[in-house]
A and B are shown apart, each in its own frame.
Chain A
């Protein structure tokens, strides 16, 4: 497989209140792949992505970018190589879309942050890539959920990172916009960027991602291609639910369904 960009080595993290711990997780992210972190609520997906982005410092283990521990790198330098899009983004004040995307240039700017010709060119380019050029002069806080997410991805790309980590980028989107954003991530990965995304949607993950990492109760249960991870017994165990795996007629990949009580009733 291609070059390892980002690597979690035996990472543990305990929240200050001691309520949840991430336990000894090791995971590699390769250049040019989309890796989905999946698992039930409270399994540690968001915690892991925060540790791997440098937002949380692990209590044990370390995160390496090209073999260098990221928690010892200067923050701005790290931000030029690794970008993180958190799940909840407030939108205070009436910043325009172009301004929001240009904020992604922060790690390259000097103290006062005047926008250089190079900054402007990068902003223009990432807006074209994400199909947000037409929104440039709109006020960010007035956009729809799908538009906002594309603009935020553009802002993250303006950092020109080699690895992008996203925490549930499609959580609030309808199926059309979800596919839009996942397609966008897939295209980025083909350019050599390593993409890590947290998602709840196992079917979308199987369809759009190269590899899946299944977490349960703070531990990494299995990593591999969708067909290796989407296993009926494994998922039943991890989610503590009656999960069925069928064949997806569209892709011949796995299709995950949870029958629930209603399905039993209608039989």
Chain B
């Protein structure tokens, strides 16, 4: 890569994008071979190449595993990019997509929908749980934005404080909802809060894409300007960056990514912390490479993690959120102890 020259070239970007796509294809295809139900590799290949295969096998590969793997790629990629974006915005390498309380808002909405059976308007592929998850997340985005913006720009410190506080408030409300709800529904509520990709069909993918694509495009366009935030808002203004507008765009794009993926997959943790950190170690902190590599790396990581989670405990499936949470805690501590000073 062009790290030795310290300048990101078009060639480095194209190579990264091609490499990332290749990673998605290889990992995505590989994950189709594993699952709760053991299938012979030859049969999976036959399904994928359009050959003769039993309809049950074709059903498992095409309507269960494939949408799930695709969703894992999008959710993992979205979480990693959102994490990198919030880290740039807060100038803090320990920020995650869940730091700013957007996930907590989504969780409150989804939990309320599950516990009270809230009816939702029919909006394409959005079910009521996903609808209220999205609604809760976006309400919090609005509240945090109003609290943190000032005359000139967004204050990273205010943003952090507002987000963490709102997160705590939502957690308290979730406890209250759990307390007043029907105990039989608590199993579903708990399962949702673990974070998982337990979907049937392509509805999840279809509902996430319209949120992901514009947010990713916006961040791609602002990647170069995002670098300027690393040396502070004042210097960035002096360089010609419209800092207030940039912060708003990055905050909204990161929030929409988070809201979209949390509404469909629940609050899956630590992908948004581990992946940006690992990518920075490999390719450096320049957002023009960091963001696309986070998209591909985060997606591939979550697809593999989900495949492990749904295969290792057959005949039951473990929600992938449990696995990432167990991996993430120790990893977080490791960063804290060894690398914090040099990030």
Contacts and interface: CB of A to CB of B under 8 A. Distances in A.
Given A86-B234, A89-B231, A106 B223 contact: no
Nearest to A83: B238
A77 B239 CA distance: 9
Interface stretch (B61-69, B169-177, B278-286): B278-286
A187 B229 CA distance: 30
B7 interface: yes
Contacts of B182: none
Given A86-B232, A88-B232, A141-B342, A102 B240 contact: no
A16 B241 contact: no
A76 B240 contact: yes
Interface string A34-55: 0000000000000000000111
Contact of A96 (B6, B88, B235): B6
Contacts of A115: 7-9
B6 A106 contact: no
Contacts of B91: 90, 92
Contacts of B225: 106
Contacts of B40: none
Interface string B148-172: 0001000000000000000000000
A111 interface: yes
Nearest to B2: A115
Interface in A81-118: 83-86, 88-100, 102-104, 106-107, 109, 111-115
A139 interface: yes
Given A102-B6, A111-B224, A93 B240 contact: no
Contacts, number: 121
B342 A159 contact: no
Contacts of B285: 93-95
A32 B235 CA distance: 23
Interface in B2-38: 3-10
B1 interface: no
B7 A90 contact: no
Contact of B223 (A55, A79, A112): A112
B342 A16 contact: no
Given A88-B232, A112-B221, A113-B288, A103 B240 contact: no
B286 A99 contact: yes
B93 A92 contact: yes
Contacts of A88: 232, 234
B304 interface: no
Contacts of A136: 6
B238 A86 contact: yes
Contact of B234 (A55, A113, A120): A55
Contacts of B88: 92
Contacts of B311: none
B228 A93 contact: no
B93 A93 contact: yes
Which of B6, B223, B224, B284 has the most CB atoms of chain A within a 10 A radius of its CB?
A: B6
Nearest to A50: B234
A89 B228 CA distance: 11
Given A75-B237, A79-B238, A92 B92 contact: yes
Contacts of A139: 342
Contact of A113 (B224, B232, B284): B224
A142 interface: yes
A253 to B, nearest CB: 32
Contacts of A94: 280, 284-285, 342-343
Interface of A: 16, 53-55, 74-80, 83-86, 88-100, 102-104, 106-107, 109, 111-115, 119-120, 136-137, 139, 141-142, 156, 159
23 contacts: A75-B237, A75-B241, A84-B238, A85-B235, A89-B235, A90-B91, A93-B93, A95-B284, A95-B285, A96-B3, A97-B6, A98-B6, A106-B241, A109-B224, A111-B224, A113-B223, A114-B8, A114-B9, A115-B8, A119-B7, A120-B5, A139-B342, A159-B239
Interface of B: 3-10, 88, 91-93, 151, 221, 223-225, 227-232, 234-235, 237-242, 280, 284-286, 288, 342-343
Given A92-B93, A120-B7, 19 more contacts: A16-B151, A53-B238, A54-B237, A54-B238, A77-B240, A79-B238, A84-B235, A85-B238, A86-B238, A94-B280, A95-B286, A100-B231, A104-B239, A112-B223, A114-B10, A137-B4, A137-B6, A139-B342, A142-B342
